[in-house]
């Protein structure tokens, strides 16, 4: 039966065309954005996971930036200790020279005093962004951010690496332009004079040797921390790449597949338009019944 009120063929063809146009719009959007999951309605599970991982990756990137700041602090402190070791070695050499009975010990002390001033200058200058690791009170600990983690329960936290700055600090304080306390406190009290005995000089040498040993331990600890930071920085980079790859698998569109689908849908669209045109023209034949 033919009806002028309802054309089932045209209705079916129109619905088919609507479905094709909807799929074509989706595919065109994927091609233009490169994403198969752009919003939550596309795939709730994948969108949720990718959003969380993108957020974590951004936090991990911030932690990597903080690692760079931490590395700069460590490098600054290490440079100070390395320079201090050279200066203390010079003091050691001057004390050895003063052991010679014919040497003017007062003149040697003039050189030692300048070296002591240099130690204070090194301690004062070893500051990065207002933080000085080589001038610290006893027992103090400094930290650097080294990572961001999310555990199996979903809890997140920032991890840190610590350095016992108070144990290895060159000075505990710098007062009136003179370093005091710390591993170099005793070295700063060395004061030769013409009356100094060989026993006193030997005691000073022992003090210097002790300071050198502590400075070496401190520099070694900083070196170990620097290696730890470098390894963590490399690891953070690998983790970030892995997260990016994982998110890409979840939400990125396969451009080869989408390209093939786009071509197929465009062809289907053209055929559906033709089908709708044919279905609509069939009702025109009814007019022939009244001629």
Q: What is the mean pLDDT for each group of 10 consecutive residues in the chain (291 residues)? A: 65 85 84 85 88 86 83 93 96 92 90 95 92 90 81 76 89 90 93 91 95 94 90 85 89 85 87 80 66 61
**Is residue 43 situated within a structural domain?**
no
Domain containing residue 206: CATH number: 1.20.1330.10
Domain that holds residue 190: 49-268
Greatest pairwise CA separation for the chain in angstroms: 142
* pTM (global) more than 0.85: no
Q: Cβ contacts of residue 181 below 8 Å, gap of 6+?
A: 138, 169, 171, 172, 173
**Is residue 182 situated within a structural domain?**
yes
CA gap 78, 218 in Å, rounded: 8
DSSP state string for 124-137: HH-EETTEESSB--
Alpha-helical regions (H) of 105-197: 105-125, 165-168
Per-residue model confidence (pLDDT) at position 30: 82
Per-residue model confidence (pLDDT) at position 160: 83
Per-residue model confidence (pLDDT) at position 119: 96
**Is residue 255 situated within a structural domain?**
yes
How many domains are there within the chain? Answer: 1
**Is residue 257 situated within a structural domain?**
yes
Per-residue model confidence (pLDDT) at position 188: 94
CA gap 7, 14 in Å, rounded: 11
**Is residue 23 situated within a structural domain?**
no
**Is residue 5 situated within a structural domain?**
no
Angle (deg, nearest 10), helices 198-251 and 44-98: 170
Per-residue model confidence (pLDDT) at position 6: 59
**Is residue 14 situated within a structural domain?**
no
**Is residue 148 situated within a structural domain?**
yes
């Amino acid at each position: 039966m033919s009806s002028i009120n309802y054309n089932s063929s045209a209705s079916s063809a129109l619905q088919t065309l609507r479905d094709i146009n909807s799929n074509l719009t989706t595919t065109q959007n994927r091609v233009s954005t490169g994403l198969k999951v752009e919003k939550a309605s596309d795939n709730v599970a994948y969108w949720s996971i990718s959003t969380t991982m993108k957020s974590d990756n951004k936090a991990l990137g911030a932690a990597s930036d903080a690692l760079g700041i931490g590395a700069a602090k460590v490098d600054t402190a290490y440079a100070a200790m390395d320079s201090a070791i050279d200066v203390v070695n010079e003091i050691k050499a001057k004390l050895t020279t003063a052991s010679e009975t014919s040497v003017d010990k007062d003149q040697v002390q003039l050189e030692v005093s300048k070296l002591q001033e240099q130690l204070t200058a090194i301690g004062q200058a070893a500051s990065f962004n207002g933080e000085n690791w080589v001038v610290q009170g006893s027992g103090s600990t400094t930290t650097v951010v080294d990572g961001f983690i999310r555990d199996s329960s979903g809890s997140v936290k920032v991890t840190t690496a610590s350095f016992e700055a108070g144990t290895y600090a060159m000075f505990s304080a710098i007062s009136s332009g003179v370093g005091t306390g710390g591993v170099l406190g005793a070295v700063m009290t060395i004061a030769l004079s013409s009356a100094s005995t060989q026993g006193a000089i030997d005691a000073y040498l022992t003090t210097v040797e002790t300071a050198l040993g502590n400075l070496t331990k401190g520099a070694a600890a900083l070196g170990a921390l620097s290696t730890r930071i470098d390894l963590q920085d490399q690891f953070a980079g690998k983790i970030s790449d892995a997260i990016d790859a994982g998110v890409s698998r979840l939400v990125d569109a396969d451009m080869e597949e989408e390209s093939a689908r786009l071509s197929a849908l465009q062809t289907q669209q053209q055929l559906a338009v033709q089908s709708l045109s044919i279905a609509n023209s069939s009702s025109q034949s009814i007019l022939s019944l009244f001629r």
